[in-house]
Amino acid sequence: MSNKKKNEINRIWATVITTVGVIIVALFAFPLFQRLFEPKPSPTATSTDTPIPTITFAIYTPSVIETQTALSAQTSSLHVLEQIDEQLRNSISANFSHLVPTRMKVDETFPIELLISISLTPDELATKVVENSGLATSTAEPGELVTDSGENVIITGDTIEITPQVKAVLIPTDSQAFEIQRIHDNDIQFIGSQGPTSWRWVIKAKKEGAQNLVLVVYRLIKFNGSDSWRQVKTYESEINVQITLGQRLELVDWKWVLGIIITLVIIPLFWKWYNAKHDLSLMGKLDNKGKAKNKASSGQNNKSKS
């Protein structure tokens, strides 16, 4: 055989052997590669893991009796609200009037009267308030009401909604600013169909400065089966009063004050005059004694010379 043919045969055998080797290596190496790239099983998938407990939530379902009770209470509340609204809708209009002081002096008193009526006009109520107050009119401005100290008084009035029973209160914003004496028997009163209904207070100023009073009027309503009344505010007014110290100065007895002042001034002046006069008298006596002594000594000198 020629060398060329031998080389070709050797090359064929080398190719066959290489191919067979690659196949054999692939057969043994494939399981290894399969294990390397195979996904690992989840830990939860193993049969040895502890099973996850199941949580069960209990849902409360009210009983039929509880449901009926709740619905009954809700229905009753709605019925009460409807009754209240019905009474408020049936409120009637009424007129009112009252006095408002603008300035007071410490320890000065002032009457405040509130009149409410469904038959009298605001002007008629204002006239009654003035008549009942006993206040005088201003000499400088005829027709203007003034207090005992000469301060102006305002008459205010308006129309409000009321029920057959009305409550009125007068409250100081500062409890130390006023003393309030209630003259009427009860804050809650029935409104008559003819004459006016009256609330009356006497206030006494106690604290200097800008002070406030609050007048509040309530409608009273009552629903069936209830022992209590519900108060519904129908009017509120803030009364501003400027309080000064003038009244205290007027209460001072100036005769006694002047007497004390004069005494305190005259006594030192008297003692000063007395001491000056005493000093002059003493100096005169000493001067006379000196002159007498000199005269006596001069007389002795004359006798010795003779």
Least confident among 51-55, 154-158, 184-188: 51-55
114-160 pLDDT, tens per residue?
999 999 998 899 889 888 888 776 655 555 777 777 788 888 999 99
Closest CA to 147 of 248, 247, 253: 247
Which pTM does this prediction carry?
Answer: 0.54
Please check whether residue 189 is in contact with residue 215, taking contact to mean a CB–CB distance below 8 angstroms.
Answer: no
> What is the predicted pLDDT for the residue at 222?
74
Q: Which residues contact 206 (CB under 8 A, 6 or more apart)?
A: 106, 107, 176, 177, 178, 179
Q: What is the 3-state secondary structure (H, E, C) of 111-168?
A: EEEEEEECCCCHHHHHHHHHHHHCCEECCCCCCCEECCCCCEEEEEEEEEEECCEEEE
Least confident among 122-126, 167-171, 231-235, 272-276: 272-276
- Integer Cα distance of 1 and 296 in angstroms: 202
pLDDT band at 247 (very low <50, low <70, confident <90, very high): very low
- CA torsion sign for 10, 13, 17, 19 is positive
92-250 is classed CATH 3.40.1000.10: no
Domain ranges of the chain: 58-90, 92-250
Q: Tally the residues of the chain.
A: 306
- State mean pLDDT over 234-244: 93
Please check whether residue 11 is in contact with residue 3, taking contact to mean a CB–CB distance below 8 angstroms.
Answer: no
Q: Is 225 left (phi over 0), alpha (psi -120 to 50) or beta?
A: left
267-304 pLDDT, tens per residue?
777 677 667 766 666 666 666 666 666 666 666 655 55
